[in-house]
Amino acid sequence: MKNSLAATAGVGLLNTACANQGSKEMIRSIKPKVVSTWRHGLQANEAANEILKAGGSALDAAEKGVMVIEADPENTSVGIGGAPDRDGNVTLDACIMDHKGNAGSVSFLQHIKHPVAVARKVMEETPHVMLAGEGALRFAIDQGFEKENLLTEKSKAEWEKWRKTSDYKPVINVENHDTIGMICQDANGNLSGSCTTSGLAYKMHGRVGDSPVIGAGLYVDNDYGAAVATGMGELMLKTLGAFLVVELIRQGMSAQEACEQAIQRIVDKMPDYKDFQVGYLAMDKAGNTGAFAIHKWFNYAEMADGKNELIDSKAYLND
């Protein structure tokens, strides 16, 4: 293992060095690359790739890519159309992190379709990292975001159906876990990431998951790699999952090994892990990707060399 780790770290350092030297030839050797969680990542990757192809930054790509999914009313776990909490309120969580280690986040934000764009404003326009609830809403409106109703007729009808039984046990199925987390690497080799969600369907009012928490739902260390998480947020919060993945890469693991170890941490610490899904997706500085989940039905979209494909992640349980 040591050799492959050294090799991975070496390639990463080489790329960084080349990018820093600014030689056109060397910079060209680093290809823009985008990965993002779940099937809707295919669409988001296209938008992010357009930006990267035009020479845009990883940060712009990571923001604009996931905004496509936030704006889709048919998507029931992100942005407008997201499933509401148990009281019928759509409350959104999102964060963003750039290659300089800057980070911005909003949690428990209502009425704003693009929480990731508000998170970027928090990062760029305030001395803070996270704004929550009413304060985040007020800040968004001050920044020119439009206040709108995010509960679509379709999500309302589903919620009303759910209310008949009000079965509160968090369910592990694809519909309830489709946060979009995205990692982009631009032509300069810089890494940025984003994460946005309406969180668990029919959660308690006020519940915040991993997605807006830097280190739980997203982490970027431009020297080594980046990671995003999806699934039952409480498990990533308790293990600081995205940070753990990146830290393991920093210590020499490949992106794949790091994702596997972060899932192993959950398995070792949480006896009821089988009841939940968690998926990690990572990219190291050299552009190698890794993904691992508790259950095998986690997938992600990878865009590289103009090819955008949906890939099934490996998993701890082969159920």
Distances in whole angstroms, Cα of residue 251 to Cα of each of 5, 209, 247, 255: 9, 27, 6, 11
Can you spell out the DSSP letters for 225-258? EEEEEEE-HHHHHHHTHHHHHHHHHHTT--HHHH
Asked if 179 touches ligand ASP (CB under 6 A), the answer is yes
CB closer to ligand ASP out of 107 and 254: 107
Among the listed residues 181, 228, 175, 180, the one whose alpha carbon sits nearest the alpha carbon of residue 202: 175
CA–CA separation, 226 and 240 (whole Å): 13
Q: What's the rounded Cα separation, in Å, for the pair 18 and 157?
A: 54
Contact 106, 93 (CB under 8 A): yes
User: What's 80's DSSP letter?
Assistant: T
Residue 231 contacts ligand ASP per CB under 6 A: yes
If binding is defined by CB under 6 A, does position 65 make contact with ligand ASP? no
12, 32, 199, 287: which one binds ligand ASP (CB under 6 A) = 199
**Of the two residues 9 and 200, which places its CB atom closer to ligand ASP in the complex?**
200
Q: How distant, in Å, are the alpha carbons of 11, 76, 136, 279 from that of 151? A: 47, 10, 19, 27
211 forms part of the interface with ligand ASP (CB under 6 A):
yes
Among 177, 265, 285, 295, binds ligand ASP (CB under 6 A): 177
**What are the phi and psi torsion angles at 36 (to 5°)?**
-155, 160
CB of 34 to ligand ASP, least distance (A): 19
**233 forms part of the interface with ligand ASP (CB under 6 A):** yes
Q: Which is nearer to ligand ASP, 69 or 286 (CB)?
A: 69
Could you say which of 76, 179, 196, 197 is catalytic?
179
Closer of 61 and 208 to ligand ASP (Cβ)? 208
Closest distance of CB 72 from ligand ASP, Å:
15
> Is there binding between residue 209 and ligand ASP (CB under 6 A)?
yes
Residue with smaller CB distance to ligand ASP, 38 or 145: 38
> In angstroms, what is the minimal distance from the CB of 167 to ligand ASP?
18
Using DSSP, state whether 70 is helix, strand or coil. helix
**Of the candidate residues 210, 247, 284, 302, the single one contacting ligand ASP (CB under 6 A):** 210
CB of 295 to ligand ASP, least distance (A): 13
Nearer Cβ to ligand ASP, position 56 or 209?
A: 209
- Catalytic annotation present for 196: no
Of 5-13, 58-66, 194-202, 292-300, the segment contacting ligand ASP by CB under 6 A is: 194-202
Binding of residue 36 to ligand ASP (CB under 6 A): no
Q: Position of tokens 């929480």?
A: 115
Element (H or E) spanning 309, and its range?
A: strand 307-312
Q: Which of 36, 190, 194, 230 binds ligand ASP (CB under 6 A)?
A: 230
Residue the block writes with tokens 């489709």: 178
Between CA 308 and CA 131 the distance in angstroms is 34
Quick check: 77 binds ligand ASP (CB under 6 A)? Answer: yes
Supply 22's token pair. 């600014």
Q: How far is the CB of 73 from ligand ASP (least distance, A)?
A: 17
193 belongs to the binding site for ligand ASP (CB under 6 A): no
Stretches 186-194, 204-212, 298-306, 311-319: which one binds ligand ASP (CB under 6 A)? Answer: 204-212
Coil, strand, or helix at residue 122?
Answer: helix
Q: Give the β-pairing of 191-197 and 33-37.
A: unpaired
Q: Rounded distance, CA 260 to CA 249, Å? A: 11
Count other Cβ atoms within 10 Å, centred on residue 7: 12
Residues binding ligand ASP (CB under 6 A): 77, 177-179, 197, 199-200, 209-211, 230-233
What is the set of active-site residues?
Answer: 179
